[in-house]
């Protein structure tokens, strides 16, 4: 099974900042990597699929990159609504797995 | 726009079977892989398994011996059964759709909390 590791587990940043979250896969997953945003009490929301494709309706302040085993999610110009927990997920082959999450908090 | 809605008991006794149903609207049940994903309180996400329109299934090996996912095409619903539950199965259970390609979960239900307790 493929294991996903995110870093950091938590992050404090200010409105207007640029932040980067990293996700590493235990083996190569090509570009089968997706990112989700989850706010308290809500279902996760798809942000980025296949490592760098922006889901429809998601602001262009979100971007993703990477391939193989190392991936990043970058949020530029942080807005108050961006404070949430972010998860990566591989879709290379079942069983699909998620990273442990990165909680983005207001500094 | 596909919409998903979970339903089922919010409380299940230890050793019994957890049963949930997801109702699909706004889209064809033949167009996606239908998944169950869970999240224990305060923890991360765990993929449970999926069923395809053809009836083929795939389960997480960590739960495989206890999980069954079925499909009711006439009702546009799919269901989860998890047997021999313990307190560790307490979680918010989500149903979600996965397209043919790339395996991302595009549409999600709102989630339903299932507590395992006597």
For position B118, what pLDDT does the model report?
96
- Tokens 């083996």 locate to A27
Output the six-digit token pair for A56. 């429809």
The answer to whether residue A100 neighbours chain B at the CB level (below 8 Å) is: yes
Output the six-digit token pair for B56. 């083929």
Judge: B61–A46 Cβ closer than 8 Å, yes or no: no
For position A52, what pLDDT does the model report?
98
For position A57, what pLDDT does the model report?
96
Confidence of residue B102 (pLDDT cuts 50, 70, 90): confident
For position A20, what pLDDT does the model report?
98
Judge: A98–B109 Cβ closer than 8 Å, yes or no: no
Tens-digit pLDDT profile for residues B1-55:
899 999 999 999 999 999 999 999 998 888 889 999 999 999 999 999 999 999 9
For position A17, what pLDDT does the model report?
97
DSSP 8-state class, residue A77: S
Instruction: Give me the residues of chain A with pLDDT under 50, please.
Output: none
Tens-digit pLDDT profile for residues B42-66:
999 999 999 999 999 999 999 989 9
Residues 6+ apart with CB under 8 A from A43: B94, B96, B108, B109, B110, B111
CB B70 within 8 A of CB B77: no
- Among candidates B103, B109, B110 on the partner chain, residue whose Cβ is nearest the Cβ of A91: B103
- Among candidates A46, A100, A101 on the partner chain, residue whose Cβ is nearest the Cβ of B104: A46
Ramachandran region, residue B79 (left: φ > 0; alpha: ψ -120 to 50; beta: rest): beta
Which of A 18-47 lie inside 8 A of B, CB atoms?
32, 34, 36, 42-46
Q: How long is chain A?
A: 107
Output the six-digit token pair for A104. 């983005």
Tens-digit pLDDT profile for residues B80-98:
999 999 999 999 999 999 9
The string over A61-82, giving b where at least 16 C-beta atoms fall within 10 Å of a residue's C-beta and e elsewhere, is ebbbebeebebbbebeebeeeb
CA A67 to mean position of chain CA atoms: 14
> A with B: how many residue pairs have Cβ under 8 Å apart?
60
Q: Which residue has the higher pLDDT, B99 or A44?
A: A44
Closest CA–CA distance from residue B69 to any residue of chain A (Å): 15
CA distances from B62 to A30, A72, B44, B70 (A): 24, 28, 15, 19
Sign of CA dihedral A45, A49, A55, A61: positive
């Amino acid at each position: 099974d493929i294991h996903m590791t995110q870093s950091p587990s938590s992050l404090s940043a200010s409105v207007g900042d640029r932040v980067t979250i990293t996700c590493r896969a235990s083996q190569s997953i090509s570009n089968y990597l997706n990112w989700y945003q989850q706010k308290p009490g809500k279902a996760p929301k798809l942000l980025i699929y296949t490592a760098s494709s922006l889901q429809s309706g998601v602001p262009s302040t979100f971007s993703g990159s990477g391939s193989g085993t190392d991936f990043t999610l970058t949020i530029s110009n942080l807005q108050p609504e961006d404070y949430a927990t972010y998860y990566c997920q591989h879709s290379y082959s079942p069983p699909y797995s998620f990273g442990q999450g990165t909680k983005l908090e207001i500094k | 726009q596909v919409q998903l809605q979970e339903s089922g008991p919010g409380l299940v006794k230890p050793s019994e079977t957890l049963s949930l149903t997801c109702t699909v609207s706004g889209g064809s049940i033949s167009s996606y892989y239908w998944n169950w994903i869970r999240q224990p309180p305060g923890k991360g996400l765990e993929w449970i398994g999926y069923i395809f329109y053809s009836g083929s299934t795939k389960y997480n090996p960590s739960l495989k011996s206890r999980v069954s996912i079925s499909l009711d095409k006439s009702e546009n619903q799919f269901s989860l059964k998890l047997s021999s539950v313990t307190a560790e199965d307490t979680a918010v259970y989500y149903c979600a759709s996965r397209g043919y390609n790339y395996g991302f979960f595009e549409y999600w239900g709102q989630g339903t909390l299932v507590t395992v307790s006597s």
